Amino acid sequence: MKIGITSGTANGTIAEITAEAAQVERDGFDSYWISQIFSHDALTVLALVGQKVPRIELGTAVVPTYPRHPMMLAQQGHTVNAAIDGRLCLGIGLSHKVVIEGMMGMSFDKPVRHLREYLSILGPLSQTQKVSFAGETLTARADIAIAGAKPFAIVVAALGEQMLRLTAAMADGTLTWCTGPVTLAKLTVPTIRQEAEKLGRPAPRVIASFPVCVTKDVAGTRERIAKALTVYGQLPSYRAMLDLEGVGSPSEIAICGTATEVVDRISALKEIGVSDFTAVEFGANPDEVAATRAALKSLNK
């Protein structure tokens, strides 16, 4: 199982994000991920980060699909991938109705159809192929010519069964959040793996992201994480995953405790079929920050 770090400074300056990613690389991790919410454009940041961080995989977790036509996103993806020597993993997701309709005034109608049409265009273009597709809402008849372009991987923030099956058919894997170990074992991993096998496709990546903290104050840490992640428990897609897990808050699936407990819980995810683990570190003081990073580094050995 590969181990990565999801940025804790996504709202920081470009220099701060680059320094964080460089430390992730020096610490021996396999990948570094950055979200796209209401701050920097994640792909632009990775193009800059990759100039100073030359070896590890760089990924988005995730870029919303609705605001960008898939041809435009393919162009941006290829540009960034060329700039960072083919190390991009493009994580995409639907975002949420409250964002797409409430904030942007765009339709969030039929998300499964939207993702199918989106990947029908983005998928071939990501592999440097021509595309000719006309769907109900998206069309592209085009080729992209970018010097130095190489194919790049696409993973989807697929949570429910329909999205997982579609992802198995049309992408390279899934990237999860607010999805606990029980749900990963019973829904996520078997659904996406079995569908890919049925279609004769390679085993997809299952990239699981969790809050992590090595701490002596587990109760206090969970309270702090619950406060920081309150909104996630209110968004329908994440709420559904938490309900399947049987928990009320994202804090209840956070991986907290002693270094041994943290390492053991992360290692157990490999046994249920998680191919990649990415940590969102939640240390509250220098000791917790250092201990959390040390525990995660030990998993690289």
CATH number at residue 146: 3.20.20.30
Mind listing the pLDDT tens digit for each residue in 238-248? Answer: 999 999 999 99
Give residue 37's pLDDT: 87
**Which tokens sit at 86?**
């083919």
Q: Which residues of 84-94 are buried (b: 16+ CB within 10 A; e: fewer)?
A: beebbbbbbbb
pLDDT of residue 182: 98
- The confidence score (pLDDT) of residue 8 equals 77
Q: Which residue has the tokens 């496709």?
A: 201
Q: What is the DSSP letter of 149?
A: -
Cross-strand partners of 213: 256
Q: Specify the long-range contacts of residues 137-142, CB closer than 8 Å, at least 24 apart.
A: 137/113, 138/69, 138/70, 138/114, 140/69, 140/70, 140/71, 142/71
What local confidence, expressed as pLDDT, does residue 301 receive?
Answer: 72
Q: How many domains does the chain have?
A: 1
Find the domain containing 236 and state its range.
2-298
Q: What secondary structure letter does DSSP report for 285?
A: S
The whole-number pLDDT of residue 96 equals: 84
pLDDT at 38: 86
* pLDDT at residue 275, as a whole number: 98
Give me the pLDDT at residue 11, please: 79
Residue 271: the pLDDT is 96
With beta carbons less than 8 A apart as the criterion, state whether 180 and 245 touch.
yes
Residues of the chain with pLDDT under 50: none
Beta-carbon contacts of residue 127 (< 8 Å; ≥ 6 apart): 151
What pLDDT shows up at residue 296?
98
pLDDT at 268: 98
Residue carrying structure tokens 């989807």: 156
Predicted local confidence at residue 49, as pLDDT: 98
Helix intervals (H) in 127-273:
161-170, 181-183, 189-198, 218-228, 236-245, 259-271
